[in-house]
Amino acid sequence: MSIKEKQEEIIEEFAILDGDMEMTNFYVMELGQKLPPMSEADKTDDNIVKGCQSKVWLTADLDGDNITYHADSNTAITKGLVSLLVRTFSGQKVNDILNEEVYFPERIGMERFIGTQRSNGFAAMIKQMKLYALAYKSKIES
């Protein structure tokens, strides 16, 4: 499934919640619980996403020219938010990650239920994922 298809799938899932804030928050936390566990050894200061109010750890592995992301957070909502990004970008090609716009947050009205601080942190997560992709792109091309 492409990044665009994954985003459309997320938008459809949130549409079912029909803007119900309580259900939306519960669903985001539920998504976080389904995030594959991250190795405790990877939960280091070096892997913390800068710009997040909560602690968010993020790592990436390159398999051919596809990236797999691993993430965790110390708060349930933030873990759910990063799980949406892991779902969107993991298994995708480096160039697709770099070139694809992340539009699902706006389409699901995410700013209504996460606030400014978390929105800034979410943007920092996207930036970090794209930085991993950029680093791997230069590794592939060298």
Question: In sequence order, which ranges of the chain are alpha helices (DSSP H)?
Answer: 3-16, 21-33, 76-89, 94-99, 104-107, 110-141
Known catalytic membership, residue 56 = no
SS3 92: strand
CA dihedral 85, 87, 91, 97 (to 10 degrees): -30
> Each residue's pLDDT tens digit in the chain (142 positions)?
999 999 999 999 999 998 888 999 999 999 999 999 999 999 999 999 998 888 999 999 999 889 999 999 999 999 999 999 999 999 999 999 999 999 999 999 888 877 777 788 999 999 999 999 999 998 888 7
- In this prediction, residue 139 carries a pLDDT of 83
d(CA 124, CA 118): 10
Please name the amino acid found at residue 9. Answer: E
Pair 96, 60: CB distance under 8 Å: no
The catalytically annotated residue of 35, 38, 52, 56 is 52
- In this prediction, residue 18 carries a pLDDT of 87
CATH code for the structural domain at 3-141: 3.90.1010.10
pTM: 0.94
* Residue-range domain boundaries for the chain: 3-141
